[in-house]
Amino acid sequence: MLRAENVHKRYGDLEVLRGVTFDVDPGQVKVLIGPSGSGKSTLLRCLCLLEEPEAGAVTLEARRPGPGEVGMVFQRFNLFQNMTALENVMSGLVTVRGLSKSDARGQAMEFLNRVGLAEKAAQYPEELSGGQQQRVAIARALVMQPKAMLFDEPTSALDVELVREVLDVMESLAQDGMTMVVVSHELRFAHSVASSVLMMDEGRIIEEAPPGEFFSSPKQERTKRFLSLVE
């Protein structure tokens, strides 16, 4: 469904992605792990075309993705602070899809309910916990009905006790068949939900395997060293 083929990305003299080829089939959940600076976040930004690769191609169902077809959830929520939770979720429907506010409001409430926050619709981000803000961000991406969802370390900015509520939503999406790519060091989530786990290092994918095999018998020495630190 979602494919990156020989993708290269650089910022000035820094080559961040060095020919990454990456496939996600419908309904798969792929979890990317690797050290800081290995290119994980940049790969996600290229997959949803927030960044244009210098070389290579990103396709969704063998064509260029359209607006909203690949949803993205960021580490730092990125909610509009002057909008309520409901208005944040509505925003893309109105500005990108051209829906009326009344139609957008109804759909946005459905997705706030989907992430367990219907009762918080009238509250502003500053009135919500970090976990609640991240769930609003997930609802804002989901309301566009994307064909794939990308998550860039969605729990790393949260207090420990708030992580579970976000992972529960993500696990529910996976059970519903959502195609997902997740950058995360939540290894229990990867164990239980991932179709496969991928290791990135220095702008390349160096290993991919189902979670049982990946964690029990990694093939690359670099993967073994990294796992010994994060586990």
Decide if 47 contacts 4 (C-beta within 8 A).
yes
State the Cα torsion 48-54-60-65 to the nearest 10°.
60
**pTM given for the model:** 0.93
d(CA 114, CA 138): 10
pLDDT digits (tens, 9 = 90+) for 16-41: 999 999 999 999 999 999 999 999 99
pLDDT digits (tens, 9 = 90+) for 100-120: 999 999 999 999 999 999 999
Return the beta strands (E) in 88-212 as ranges: 148-152, 179-183, 196-201, 204-209
d(CA 37, CA 82): 32
Residue 88 has which token pair?
């944040």
Residue 101 has which token pair?
């506010």
- Residue range 117-135: mean pLDDT, rounded: 94
pLDDT beyond 80 at 147: yes
Higher pLDDT, 128 or 76: 128
d(CA 1, CA 59): 8
d(CA 61, CA 109): 29
Query: Which class for 124: exposed (0-12), middle (13-18), buried (19 or more C-beta within 10 A)?
Result: middle
Decide if 218 contacts 50 (C-beta within 8 A).
no
Find tokens 């930004």 and name the residue.
45
pLDDT band per the 50, 70, 90 thresholds, residue 178: very high
Q: Which helix (H) or strand (E) holds 122?
A: none
pLDDT band per the 50, 70, 90 thresholds, residue 156: confident
Find tokens 């309904």 and name the residue.
27
Residue 192 has which token pair?
């239980």
d(CA 100, CA 108): 12
pLDDT digits (tens, 9 = 90+) for 45-61: 999 999 999 999 999 99
For 1-69+148-231, which CATH class? alpha beta
Which letter does DSSP use for residue 63 in this model? B
Instruction: Specify the amino acid at residue 25.
Output: D
Structural domain spans, the chain: 1-69+148-231, 77-145
φ, ψ of residue 183 in degrees (nearest 5): -90, 120
